[in-house]
Amino acid sequence: MASSSPFISRDGRLAGKIIEAEIKVSVDPGQPLPLACALYAIEDEQGVWLCSYYSYNRSVFDYLPQKGAVVDEQNLGIAFHSRQFVPREQYAPALWEEYKKNHWMAYSRHD
């Protein structure tokens, strides 16, 4: 069945090189723990995986993979909350920007 979405679901482990990463920790005085949000574009032989990770676990904040790292999900030590596969020929910077916009999570500021 054809899909109108450029994303293709794919089973199996995720392994490749991080070509884009957006990682930030946000805090809110009204919340007991900081929130880490990490968004990744990971390139493999077939295309690019767009992945998101969210955590309140301070012990992983300093160890989140960075842009340029080669990762294997089996040995990563974190589990992605969402992931979408984009075939190589359909991946573009605008798609990464849209993914960041739709998956970014942070505490809102109460000024």
List the domain boundaries for the chain.
15-103
Looking at residue 12, its pLDDT comes to 63
89: pLDDT strictly greater than 50: yes
Strand residues in the chain grouped as ranges (E): 15-26, 35-43, 47-55, 70-72, 82-87
* Cβ atoms 23, 37 nearer than 8 A: yes
What would the pLDDT profile of 5-18 be if each residue is shown by its tens digit? 344 344 467 899 99
Higher-pLDDT residue of 43 and 3 is 43
